[in-house]
Structure 1
Amino acid sequence: MDHHLVLPPLRHEAALLPPPPGSRLIRLHGESMGTGWSLSVYAPPGLSEADLRALTGRELAAILALFSPWQAESEISQLNRDPREDLQVSPAFAALLGPMLDLARASNGASDPTLGTLVDLWGFGPAGRRSGLPPAEKIAAARAVSGWQRVSFDPLSGRLQRPCGMRFDFSGSAKGLAADQISAALSRAGAGHHLIEIGGECYARGLKPDLQPWWLAVETPEPALPGWRVALYGMGLASSGAAQNCFFHAGRRYAHSIDPATGWPCQAGPVSVTVLAQTCCEADALATALMVLPLAARTAFIARRGLSALIFEADGRVSPSPLWAAMTKDDDAQP
């Protein structure tokens, strides 16, 4: 089958060198954050499989302790239960909340961490799936306590003001952040040549012994479509799709991406979006935004921010952004 190779510019964050002599390839996998994770790493001498698994576990646990609504004592769960409108969040929580509120503002709420009440109402939160559609009055009430416009936040002090009943949700960025954090921890441990994947969100650093980057295949919604393979080096890759987390009612599919303009799951828009960005967290959040934005707004947002994105439209079209297209070449040979 024909396929396309995506060759981003190299980021010279380190010398383009292979793994150190004596490094061995170790592959690990596990489950966390409601999904699976996998790690491929060229480990230097002295760094064991047990060391790598423990390191990965510590970083995942730290993210869960901050942002998992499924853990009753996580910071986000305590924040969502707190009836006060004026609160203080930890520096680690603020480090993600600040940029995500900025992105919510820039995307007109298409990727918004304040929509947790709506996410829960539609059955995509810890309470589990719905057996039917929520009543219109409950949707209106959830919308009334949701939205980045209703938040006042000082990222330096961590002071947060929000309406009572607002619930935060970082399902569109926390897995990407975890991938970034694990990558940084691996590099500090001397294992700077690796690929980490969490539920389809990926970050790669360093090269393989043959000086090849880490090649990742983009999942396509239809097997007959040409494939896409991305050379990942010091960047993050994330995808969001209508089929990844959804439920059906009366023969209609309701996806997890919530449209803040209506309070309903998006009923139009792409089948899936893949974004390449400097961090996996950024790619994760941007993919969510592009799933929600209407076509004209999405096109303008991509152009304004210079995004590298591949979009599979509902009508079967494949729409690479200009930057993605500029990095693409056709090649019938496997790299």
Structure 2
Amino acid sequence: MDRPPARPNGDRIWSLDGDTMGTTWSVRLVAPSGLEQAAVEAAIQADLDAVIAVFSPWAHDSEIARFNAAPPGMWALSPALWSVLDASMNLADDTDGAVDPTLGALVDLWGFGPPGPRPDTDPLPSEAEIATALAVSGWQGLRLHRDARAAMQPGGLKLDFSGIAKGHAVDRVSDTLTALGCNSHLVEIGGEMRGTGVKPDAQPWWIGLEPPPGAMIPRSVAGLVDIAVATSGDWRRAFQFDGILYPHTLDGRTGRPVANGVASVTVFHASAMLADAWATALTVSGPEQGLALARAHGIAAQILTRTSEGVTEVLSPAFAAMLDDEA
């Protein structure tokens, strides 16, 4: 940062919170004079409702639910869905499919989607079930018509944005707050965060980075000023069977939950959506390939890996440079 950020145009800090997308949200903002809290709350809720209306597979009338149930054919997409799908497909190309927005059938199969968890008597899908879900999944099989902003439904393909939707919602709410004149704020949805501007005392928005449970790694603290952070962890939305942990992050190339030893990946990025997506991509890619991807694309990432000696930490060059700047 070339020069310190400007102090906010106010000294009142409001704290707002609620529920959305099966998780919680919170906002802290420096309120400029004349701004009504009710107007801010209404604007935030409108954004969250709009995200659910497009991206939630649990909402039967959402746009992706309609696309997922649609017969084969080319379907025009809303600007919001097109923007996120286009970004996801570009990342799929950049990461060799480590980000894949077409894994809804696999998400459902493994018990992480709207149908709910698998029964205790049959917790793991069979090889045949995985093969069937893989046959209707895969980003390379999704054709986009860029001029028309449309996508081809080949039949049975299910979009799923669980690895990017919360980050998209964070960005959307943050942009709305800025448009309302709240130039200093911290938005958090389900652990994904974006901080803009500074507090009245010129301090950044300080947040704690959650380490994996049981890891002998100190809890880190970061100051967010015009940057977002997202963490993908193997203990979030997971189940155990026969002593094996099955996290919700799926590898579309195998049709199975990731099992590469990665405990968590934390990514800093200007966009919360891209921080969210890259955290997923590096988790799926694994410790070595993930670090190589982060290095190649200039991604600031911390990768924590479970080994026989405990949890180990590696930092991408961009992440290490951020630490040097703060020193």
Scaled by the length of structure 1, what TM-score is found?
Answer: 0.91
Q: Is the 8 A contact 1:95 1:155 kept in 2?
A: no
Counterpart of 2:69 in structure 1 is: 81
| Count of paired positions | 320
Q: Is the 8 A contact 1:269 1:292 kept in 2?
A: no
Which segment drifts farther, 315-324 or 176-185?
Answer: 315-324
Which residues of 2 match residues 106-125 of structure 1 at below 5 A?
A: 106-125=94-113
Q: Is the 8 A contact 2:99 2:281 kept in 1?
A: yes
Counterpart of 1:141 in structure 2 is: 132
Q: State the alpha-carbon separation in 2 of the partners of residues 261 and 29 from structure 1.
A: 38
Choose which of 233, 243, 246 in structure 1 pairs with 2:235: 243
| SS state at 2:262 partner | coil
Q: Is the 8 A contact 1:117 1:166 kept in 2?
A: yes
Query: In 2 relative to 1, CA 74–253 (structure 1 residues): closer, same or farther, beyond 3 Å?
Result: same
Query: In 2 relative to 1, CA 289–26 (structure 1 residues): closer, same or farther, beyond 3 Å?
Result: same
| SS state at 2:306 partner | coil
1:230 counterpart = 2:192: no
TM-superposed deviation, 1:156:
3.6
Counterpart of 1:313 in structure 2 is: 305
| SS state at 1:146 partner | coil
Which segment drifts farther, 181-190 or 320-329?
Answer: 320-329
| SS state at 1:240 partner | strand
Counterpart of 1:211 in structure 2 is: 202
Choose which of 264, 274, 277 in structure 1 pairs with 2:269: 277
Counterpart of 1:99 in structure 2 is: 87
Letter in 2 for 1:173: I
TM-superposed deviation, 1:202:
0.4
Q: State the alpha-carbon separation in 1 of the partners of residues 215 and 19 from structure 2.
A: 27
Encode CA deviations 1:98-126: one digit per residue, 9 max, x unaligned: 01011011111111101111011101101
Q: State the alpha-carbon separation in 2 of the partners of residues 120 and 250 from structure 1.
A: 21
Choose which of 310, 328, 331 in structure 1 pairs with 2:323: 328
1:18 counterpart = 2:7: yes
Q: State the alpha-carbon separation in 2 of the partners of residues 35 and 127 from structure 1.
A: 18
Runs of 4+ in 1 over 3 A off after TM superposition: 329-332
Which residues of 2 match residues 16-95 of structure 1 at below 5 A?
A: 16-21=5-10, 23-95=11-83
Choose which of 170, 178, 184 in structure 2 pairs with 1:179: 170
Q: Is the 8 A contact 1:121 1:134 kept in 2?
A: yes
Letter in 1 for 2:321: A
| SS state at 1:31 partner | strand
Q: Is the 8 A contact 1:29 1:36 kept in 2?
A: yes
Counterpart of 1:157 in structure 2 is: 148
Give the fraction of aligned pairs with identical amino acids, expressed as a percent. Answer: 40
| SS state at 1:184 partner | helix
Q: Is the 8 A contact 1:150 1:162 kept in 2?
A: no
TM-superposed deviation, 1:212:
1.3
Q: Is the 8 A contact 2:262 2:286 kept in 1?
A: no
Encode CA deviations 1:138-178: one digit per residue, 9 max, x unaligned: 11011111111101113341121242111000001110010
| SS state at 2:232 partner | strand
1:266 counterpart = 2:258: yes
TM-superposed deviation, 1:296:
3.3
Q: State the alpha-carbon separation in 2 of the partners of residues 155 and 246 from structure 1.
A: 36
Counterpart of 2:285 in structure 1 is: 293
Q: Is the 8 A contact 1:175 1:199 kept in 2?
A: yes
Task: Give ranges in structure 1 of 5+ residues lacking alignment.
Answer: 1-8
Letter in 1 for 2:141: R
Q: Does 1 or 2 have the higher relative contact order (CA < 8 Å, sep 6+)?
A: 1
Aligned-residue RMSD, C-alpha: 1.8
Query: In 2 relative to 1, CA 106–269 (structure 1 residues): closer, same or farther, beyond 3 Å?
Result: farther
Scaled by the length of structure 2, what TM-score is found?
Answer: 0.93
Query: In 2 relative to 1, CA 331–175 (structure 1 residues): closer, same or farther, beyond 3 Å?
Result: closer
TM-superposed deviation, 1:250:
2.3
TM-superposed deviation, 1:331:
9.3
Task: Give ranges in structure 2 of 5+ residues lacking alignment.
Answer: none
Choose which of 287, 290, 295 in structure 2 pairs with 1:303: 295
TM-superposed deviation, 1:200:
0.4
Letter in 2 for 1:78: R
Counterpart of 1:5 in structure 2 is: none
